[in-house]
């Protein structure tokens, strides 16, 4: 009479053991998936920061084939295309991201950025107009300022630049952009001031130094301002100042500045030599 009971107990034991084995297997599988997810996240971060942009594009394209609905992979591809300066491809990649159900206003700002880089100014303006005004970020206002500049809406541009500067701890780049905007309007003194502010925040920003020299040259101020610069930079700035003087009709001053640039440069300064030779040959 005890045999049926023994069989029942054995079957129950096997069932319990089987259940344990399944649970352990599922736990291991989940653990492996978690590790893979962590590794993939780390790899994605590397691809978005230190990797060659075109290698990153290939990585995200491969990964997207297996995970077509993952917005983080879609974003990674879009970011990498823009980093690789493949703007024509970057725009549709960002459009795909913005159509995802998990997309945010940040994604639309990034789409507008890609559109501006691709020269699609009207499309970028429409994209920014579609973003709620409550989304107030440095990047959004910097792009708004650039679009206002392109439309010659100077008051709006100034307002956007000022707002953008207040939303970042690294304002040098946007100050340089604002200064260039003033330069194109012919407000040379204000442009010079803004370039000086940009350099004060980032003394390595050579573009701002070069723009500042252009603003000074436009005012016929043919001396270099007191700026942090190495010997090569000094020679290049003298060359810029010389060309500005020549453009203003001050040819002899331009020649003098070109000679100084050639003497200052630690190596052979071919561009300055060619400019000086052209002037001396009439």
43-58 tens-digit pLDDT: 787 788 767 899 999 9
- Give every residue of the chain whose pLDDT is below 70, as ranges: 1-41, 50
Q: Is 119 left (phi over 0), alpha (psi -120 to 50) or beta?
A: left
Its CATH architecture, for the domain 36-103, is Alpha Horseshoe (1.25)
Per-residue pLDDT at 35: 42
Tokens of 2: 């005890």
- The owner of tokens 């100014």 is 121
Within 8 A by CB and 6+ apart from 93, the residues are 74, 77, 78, 81, 114
C-alpha span between 56 and 132 (Å, rounded): 32
Per-residue pLDDT at 282: 73
Instruction: State if pTM tops 0.85.
Output: no
């Amino acid at each position: 009479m005890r045999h049926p009971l023994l069989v029942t107990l054995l079957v129950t034991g096997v069932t319990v053991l089987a259940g344990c084995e399944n649970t352990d297997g599922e736990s291991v599988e989940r653990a492996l998936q978690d590790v893979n997810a962590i590794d993939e996240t780390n790899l994605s971060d590397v691809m978005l920061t230190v990797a060659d942009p075109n290698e990153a594009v290939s990585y995200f394209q491969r990964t997207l084939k297996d995970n077509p609905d993952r917005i983080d992979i879609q974003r990674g591809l879009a970011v990498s295309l823009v980093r690789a300066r493949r703007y024509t491809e970057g725009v549709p990649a960002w459009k795909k991201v913005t159509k995802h159900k998990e997309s945010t206003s940040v994604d639309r700002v990034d789409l507008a950025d890609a559109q501006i880089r691709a020269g699609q100014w009207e499309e970028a303006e429409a994209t920014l107009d579609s973003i709620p005004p409550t989304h107030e970020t440095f990047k959004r206002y910097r792009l708004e300022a650039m679009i206002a500049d392109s439309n010659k809406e100077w008051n709006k541009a100034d307002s956007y630049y000022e707002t953008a500067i207040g939303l970042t701890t690294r304002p040098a780049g946007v100050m340089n952009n604002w200064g260039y905007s003033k330069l194109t309007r012919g407000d040379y003194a204000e442009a010079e001031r803004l370039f000086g502010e940009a350099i004060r925040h980032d003394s390595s920003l050579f573009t701002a130094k070069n723009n500042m020299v252009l603003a000074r040259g436009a005012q016929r101020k043919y001396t270099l301002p007191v700026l942090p610069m190495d010997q090569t930079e000094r020679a290049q700035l003298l060359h810029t100042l010389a060309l500005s003087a020549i453009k203003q009709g001050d040819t002899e001053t331009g020649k003098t500045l070109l000679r100084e640039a050639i003497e200052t440069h630690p190596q052979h300064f071919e561009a300055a030599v060619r400019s000086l030779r052209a002037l001396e040959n009439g």
